[in-house]
A and B are shown apart, each in its own frame.
Chain A
Amino acid sequence: MARLCEICHREKAVLKRPKTLQSICRPCFYQVFETEIHHTITKNRLFQPGDRVAIGASGGKDSTVLAYVLKTLNERYQYGLHLFLLSIDEGITGYRDDSLETVKRNQLQYDLPLKIVSYEELYAWTMDAIVREVGLKNNCTFCGVFRRQALDRGAMLLGATHIVTGHNADDIAETVLMNLLRGDVARLQRCTEIATPGEDGCVPRSKPFKYTYEKEIVMYAYFKKLDYFSTECIYSPNAYRGYARAFLKDLESIRPSSIIDIIHSGEAFQVRRGVKMPTQGFCSRCGYISSNPLCKACVLLEGLNRGLPKLGVSRAGLQQLDPQLGPAADPNSPPTTAAKEYPSSSDPSAAAAVRTGKSLDW
């Protein structure tokens, strides 16, 4: 009683698409999966011919499929892109070592140059050392903030003109929910954007999988037998995000379009005029883009180096760091203002959430 594909009406259907509920065969699945991503890329003009594109590669499913698909599309449609793999070594023994081995295999399998930058070389701190200092409570804050900058710095070392990350539709829907639950209005507005322009100190970024369901990414990797690494970060408790994720998956199992619906809600979300939004400037110490006089990474580093690791992860900690910090350190600021640039008490991993989708995924 094998069901036939609803697209070609010839082959046996092997997959029910969550987006359309169509039953389709393997060749048609590859075709629609790749073509939709191609359309996302062209419709949103994500790239220019000649772009040097760094693929944020963690060794996990999303970035592995992204590298494979981008390479395929670049050849098929002659985008004229120079593709690179860019990996961050956070310095987590037993976790990142293994996933970096996967990225090194991908480098050979896909014939793409690989650049690895480490927290140790950028910040003189590994995550192992940071955890020894701060314990397991706020470590994800450090990791998320450092990773975002590390990707930019690695991309600049590569001379990259663009960074792509493997965030998929489920990740973005989850981030919309998280920002809503935290009342983080500024991020709620930004988190659904498919691309962020390059500003001084920042390389333009985009998310070609913005409309791609996680289920299809995993099925694609499974059918194509792509080599990826999957385990939980040994330092990532991240309970709050875990609940949001489970909730989303429960919704999706009842009505798969929930994922896209939540993204649409995030996109349609408008901030009432008069709500104070953070203004972007530059870090006075490292020059990285920041809405405060010192960027978050520099605040965290300052805390680590002065033996005050709470600096920057709590409001009380922020105030120890003197007047330089300006309005963001004002404990009376309402939650929708710049003070929420990094949420303080409720969720230690919150700062990792903006760009990361999951704690260790770009």
Chain B
Amino acid sequence: MASPAPATPAPTPLKVNLEFSGGMELLFNNTKNYTIEIPATTSEHTPTLLRHLIFWIRDNLLKEKPELFISADTVRPGILVLINDTDWELEGELEYQIQNNDTVVFISTLHGG
């Protein structure tokens, strides 16, 4: 058996703060704040984008009803997303490249006023 090839060091995972409010938290065990770690790169060795983060959230944190969080491969319309307190529409939306220590906030506008 050949000796294993020297492994390329895995990049340090990214720490991301998540906040769910406006009723979103009901989908997440009624918990508003999470700090998570996700890989800095995808399995295709590309940088981790917001697109990957929302699927990571769906697969790892979401407790029920994924269709209330993701619809047609994006965040369901009516949920506001802020990246470090800035509207995600100014940050490239799904194409935003996640940085270490980012804070991503999801606020539902669909719950009673």
Contacts and interface: CB of A to CB of B under 8 A. Distances in A.
B53 to A, nearest CB: 19
Contacts of A166: 113
B112 A246 contact: no
Contact of B89 (A16, A223, A358): A16
Residue among B26, B87, B109, B111 with the highest chain A CB neighbour number at 10 A: B109
A297 B86 CA distance: 46
B44 interface: no
B22 interface: yes
Nearest to A3: B90
B48 interface: no
Contacts of B21: 222, 230
B73 interface: no
A61 B82 CA distance: 17
B31 to A, nearest CB: 14
A63 B113 CA distance: 7
Interface in B65-101: 76-78, 80, 82, 85-87, 89-90
A14 B113 contact: no
Given A218-B22, A230-B22, A252-B77, A14 B87 contact: yes
B113 A231 contact: no
B77 A250 contact: yes
A232 interface: yes
Contacts of A246: 77-78
B61 interface: no
Given A60-B113, A230-B108, A232-B112, 16 more contacts: A12-B86, A13-B86, A15-B86, A16-B90, A60-B112, A61-B113, A63-B113, A166-B113, A171-B113, A215-B80, A218-B80, A222-B82, A236-B112, A249-B78, A249-B110, A358-B112
Number of chain B interface residues as a range = 20 to 34
A223 B21 CA distance: 13
B113 A215 contact: no
A222 B23 contact: no
A231 B112 contact: yes
Contact of A231 (B85, B86, B90, B111): B111
A286 interface: no
A62 B113 contact: yes
B107 A361 contact: no
B44 to A, nearest CB: 24
Contacts of B23: 230-232
Contacts of B77: 246, 249-250, 252-253
Given A16-B87, A16-B90, A218 B109 contact: yes
Contacts of A16: 87, 89-90
Interface of B: 21-23, 26, 76-78, 80, 82, 85-87, 89-90, 105, 107-113
Given A171-B113, A215-B109, A231-B111, A61 B22 contact: yes
Contacts of B107: 218, 222
Nearest to B78: A249
B78 A230 contact: no
A62 B111 CA distance: 11
Given A219-B87, A230-B21, A232-B23, A58 B80 contact: no
Please list the 3 inter-chain residue pairs (A to B) with the smallest Cβ-Cβ separation, ordered nearest first.
Answer: A62-B113, A249-B77, A361-B113
B86 A14 contact: yes
Interface string A335-362: 0000000000000000000000111110
A62 B113 CA distance: 5
Interface in A201-240: 214-215, 218-219, 222-223, 230-233, 236
A360 B87 contact: no
A252 B110 CA distance: 13
B112 A361 contact: yes
Contacts of A58: 112-113
